[in-house]
């Protein structure tokens, strides 16, 4: 699996799947990629990105342009409140995921989530990767090479979704909220001095208020999408699944 895909998962999935249980079904169709693969940098933390919708629909729900933020009316506010309440209600979540990176590459696997702050994404072979968050850090672990890369959870744009309670109006920089007959779409923005601006677009079913997928746009403008399905909110994952083995500090003597 390309490093771009792993880094995207760190930012996009470490907390994203925490959000909600999607109705049973299959992931949305994957379009041909419309952007080249990103060349990620680990300077200042992991980049993020995604894309999984048919092109016409993707254009319909594209994140707003700069300057369009803050224009939220009472109807939109009510939608955001419903989304916040739903996200806060999910405490444990187990299911399957499909990730599509900026280059159109598709990977799949299983995830296990338990609030606050803990999630594990295990890729199906031949991809030998696990991504684990323990409430403080996120690690990308290569099962074949027995190596890992460690990032602060605070640097992921989805980190707030792993908290016990989320109020999108108070806890995030809400850019827009919209709804049609199919989806409710919420866009939030994250600004970091070192890494730049990233955006998170969450898509929920308009009729059942359940999360279908999310898209993260990284500071370079590359998109990565994750769809979740076969979700179960009744299973409680084993706490050992979220343990991270931190590097030992050298003896100062």
Q: Does residue 87 carry a pLDDT above 70?
A: yes
> Domains in the chain, please, with CATH?
3-233 (2.50.20.10)
The larger pLDDT score, comparing residue 193 to residue 223, is at 223
Average predicted confidence (pLDDT) for the chain: 74
Taking only the tens place, the pLDDT of each residue in 161-182 is 788 899 999 988 999 999 999 8
Over residues 40-86, the pLDDT tens digits come to: 333 333 333 333 433 333 433 444 443 344 568 899 999 999 999 98
Secondary structure string (H, E, C) spanning the chain: CCHHHHHHHHHHHCCHHHCCCCCCCCCCCCCCCCCCCCCCCCCCCCCCCECCCCHHHHHHCCCCCCCCCCCCCHHHHHHHHHHHHHHHHCCEEEEEEEEECCCCCEEEEEEEEECCCEEEEEECCCCCEEEEEECCEEEEEECCCCEEEEEEHHHCCCHHHHCCCCCHHHHCEEEEEEECCCEEEEEEEEEECCCEEEEEEEEEECCCCCEEEEEEECCCCCEEEEEEEEEECCCCCCHHHHCCCCCCCCCCC
């Amino acid at each position: 699996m390309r490093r771009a895909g792993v880094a995207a998962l760190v930012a996009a999935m470490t907390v994203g799947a925490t959000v909600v249980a999607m109705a049973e079904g299959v992931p949305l169709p994957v379009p041909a990629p419309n952007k080249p693969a990103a060349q990620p940098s680990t300077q200042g933390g992991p980049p993020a990105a995604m894309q999984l919708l048919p092109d016409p629909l993707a254009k319909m729900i594209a994140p707003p342009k700069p300057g369009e933020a803050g224009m939220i009316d009472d109807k939109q506010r009510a939608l955001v409140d419903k989304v916040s309440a739903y996200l806060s209600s999910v405490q444990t979540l187990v299911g399957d995921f499909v990730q599509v990176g900026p280059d159109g590459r598709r990977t799949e696997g299983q995830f296990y989530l338990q609030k606050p702050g803990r999630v594990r994404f295990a890729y199906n072979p031949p991809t030998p990767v696990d991504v684990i968050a323990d409430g403080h850090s996120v690690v990308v672990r290569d099962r074949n090479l027995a190596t890992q890369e460690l990032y602060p959870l605070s640097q992921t744009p989805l980190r707030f979704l792993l908290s016990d309670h989320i109020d999108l109006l108070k806890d995030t920089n809400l850019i827009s909220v919209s709804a049609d007959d199919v989806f409710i779409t919420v866009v939030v923005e994250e600004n970091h001095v070192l890494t730049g601006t990233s955006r998170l677009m969450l898509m929920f079913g308009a009729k059942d208020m359940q999360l279908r997928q999310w898209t993260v746009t990284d500071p370079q403008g590359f998109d990565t999408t994750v769809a979740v399905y076969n979700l179960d909110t009744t299973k409680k994952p084993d706490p050992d699944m979220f343990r991270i083995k931190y590097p030992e500090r050298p003896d100062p003597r």
